[in-house]
Each structure stands twice: as structure tokens, then as C-alpha cells.
Homo-oligomer: A and B are copies of this chain.
């Protein structure tokens, strides 16, 4: 441990309100903000498994989750490299183990993908790369592991093992029939070809073995999550990945997101506070109850925040609901219950900084969207565990949750449109999420303020307020 030197002075970052040391007026190192996952060296996640075992599904989902919690992650699908190289897919024969030409191309694609991995992790500040390919032989995995070691990456294997023919068939229907490989085939032709493709891999498949692979770090997912074998978890990020993978499932269900009904403060164009519903807000609550009834949802769970307006909304449903404090609206600190006009009046600098970087901007004595995402992570984890859920929350909160499901980056998140009195029904499909937007036909004020053109700290009052929506 170094000898103690005179403590450096601290300065408060005007955007994020974090205290940072500075040397001679410049920000200095030494202090890191825990953005949930401090990854010291990059992590290479390597998928393992026969075709149609959910590798790409897991890759995409995991990538989406890690990016949402603030860990820069990218997936590299070797099949996509192959499609880019071999323009037209002919048949399963490409994958026959004795097809020299096929083997050569496939190896070339794997190496091209690994090269892009190296660029992402070592040159582009990526933290995690997900290498999505079958990687079914010990030899191939050895090659990749060495690649990781040479570059200073920690390697973590994720294997999906499944023998249930119904699951395989369902996967083929969900994601293979629509693949670019089978764009000119009938469903039956595609299925038949794909089954033969799987056969090409089976003879050489070497599953991760408790003894032979005992020194590797991995999770083996069996039967779509019925059981797991976890070996040598090395660090925080691997522990989080394992926890996430153990909580996700593929049972069909829908997640309903909406805001509380219009509140008394909404009407006045004021943010935050803990107001009750307006007359129209109560009408929305009744419409919501009717809508939910008509949807006839099996075992619906209802969640609210601990703020009066969401609870009032839930009360109209006449069913049990659970209150989560972490679903409370973003804390606007000193700006609580102000109108945008008053914020501009009293805190013009803050108002401009917020427009410059709405995701990272933290209200004085309040929170940022970035903070919100951290506190909402347990909600996302529980949503993954659950089946049919209705979440009655708030504008900023809903934007964060929506960004997770629709894979929206941080820059777009604070501007996602989440109007009052509108339910978003999210249904997982293929590798993503279908969204249906249902306006429940009760008028409400607009609370969405777009990013204005001029975000300079010296802008005029009119420029700052140009995008403020109407209110009383």
C-alpha cells in the first residue's frame, strides 16, 4: 500500500453531482464510481451447444441485460459471419463434418469473429463479448480459451443442453423457419434440412465435463433451466451473469407497463411530488380495470410504486397488488413539485445540463436516470422470474423498464414516449419483444418534453422552454 500523500481536493461534477479528486485543476484517477459491475479485465463469454438449443436467444438476452445495467457488451454471432461470407445458403451439406470447403469457411468465420471480439474488448472499451457459435468440440474451446488468455480476457462458458424434442421443435419454429437461410423454403423443407444440420454436429459434440473441464469457468444449463451446473465462478460479473441466467425462462407470458392515472400535479405541469389522481386519472383507473378484465389474463400479478397515484390506480382493479419502493418516480431533489418554467427560473444551469445529458444528469439532492436503472435492476430480475405482470409506475421508471425490454441505448432511454393513460403490452417473441400500445381512451395532459435544439448554458429562456408541453 502506498504511503499516504496529502489528500487531494475534491470538486463536484456539475452533471452527475459526484465528487472527484483533481490535481492542478484536472480530474485525477484513483476513484471509480461503482457502475454496478466493475470489470477489471474484459470477459469473453463463449456459448456452447448444438443448434436450436437457445444459444443465440441467451446471447442476445444476456447482451441486452448487461448493456442495460451499464456493462458495455456485444455479441458476435458466427452464423451471421457465415451468412455475410457465403451469400446463399444451399443446404445442411455445408455442415457435413467431411465437407472440406465448408470447414474452411466456418473456421475463417470463427477467426474473423474472434478478431472483431479482440477489437471490441481491447480497442473499443468493450467490457464483455459474447461469442455465439456451437463450440461443441473441446479442441475449438481450447483454441478460444488460448485466444482469451493471450489477450488478457477472462473466459466464461455458457452451455445449453437439451434433449427434449418438443423444445427443439418449438425453437425451430420460433427462430429458424424465419432465418435468412430458409427464406425460399417451405416450413417443412426448412425443418427437415435443419434437423439434418443438427445431426452434423452430434457425432463430434463434447459436452462440458465435470472432470475434463474442471478448471474452466462455466455454467451448463440443462433442459431450458430445470437444472444448472456451475463451475468456478471467478468474479462479480460472472456471478451476476449466472444469477441472471438462472432467473430467465421461456414460458410464454406478457408484461403490461403503464403509468398511474393523470395526477393533480400532472395537470399543473409540475414534476414529482406525491399527489393523488385527478378526475380523469380516476376514470383511467376504472378503464384500466375494465381493460384488464377483458384481457382475461391468467394469474396476473400487479405491482405499483409506494406513491399514492399508482396505488390509487391499482385500487380500482380490485385485486391484490404489491407495492415496491424501488418503483417510485425519479427523485427530482430540489426541483420536486416545480414546473419546468420554475426550474428554468431558479436553476437555469441545471436545466441546461439536463438537456445536455439527460441520462447521466442527477438533480441536486436527487437522482439521475442512471441511478434509476441501478435501483430498478431487482425489478427486472423479478420480472424475468415472473409470468404475467402488470406494472403501474411512472414516466421515468417506465422509460427505464421499456428500454430494457426493447434494447434501447442510454441516449434514447430518457426520451422514450410513455404517455399517460396508455398501456404497453410486451410479449417476448423470437429474439425480441412485440409491443402493443393501447390507449385507454381517457384524455390526459401530455407530460413528454422533447430535447430542445439549444442545450447551451447561455441559451434564452424561450429556447429552454420551447418543448415544454401544455399545462394549467
Contact = CB atoms under 8 A, between A and B. Distances in A.
A290 B227 contact: no
B31 A321 contact: yes
A314 to B, nearest CB: 8
Nearest to A300: B1
A321 B227 contact: no
Interface in A285-338: 285-286, 289-290, 292-293, 296-297, 300, 303, 306-308, 311-312, 314-326, 336
B1 A293 contact: yes
A129 B276 CA distance: 41
26 contacts: A1-B292, A1-B300, A1-B319, A4-B289, A7-B282, A10-B308, A30-B319, A30-B321, A31-B311, A31-B314, A31-B321, A32-B320, A32-B322, A32-B323, A34-B323, A38-B322, A227-B231, A227-B232, A228-B228, A228-B230, A229-B230, A230-B230, A230-B246, A239-B246, A243-B246, A375-B375
A19 B228 contact: no
Nearest to A276: B10
Contacts of A285: 7
A227 B230 contact: yes
A468 interface: no
Given A293-B1, A308-B10, A312-B7, A323 B33 contact: yes
A242 interface: yes
A5 interface: yes
Interface string A20-42: 01000000011111100010000
A229 B220 CA distance: 9
A315 B32 contact: no
Interface of A: 1-5, 7-8, 10, 12, 18-19, 21, 29-34, 38, 210, 214, 226-233, 236, 239, 242-243, 246-247, 276, 282, 285-286, 289-290, 292-293, 296-297, 300, 303, 306-308, 311-312, 314-326, 336, 365, 371, 374-375, 382, 385
A292 B246 CA distance: 39
Contact of A318 (B2, B300, B385): B2
A16 to B, nearest CB: 9
Which A-B residue pairs are the 3 nearest by beta carbons? A4-B289, A7-B315, A227-B231
B246 A10 contact: no
A319 B239 CA distance: 26
A312 B371 contact: no
B31 A323 contact: yes
A30 B233 contact: no
Contacts of A312: 7, 10
B229 A228 contact: yes
A314 B307 CA distance: 36
A336 B374 CA distance: 24
B32 A319 contact: no
A323 B18 contact: yes
A92 to B, nearest CB: 33
Contacts of A247: 239
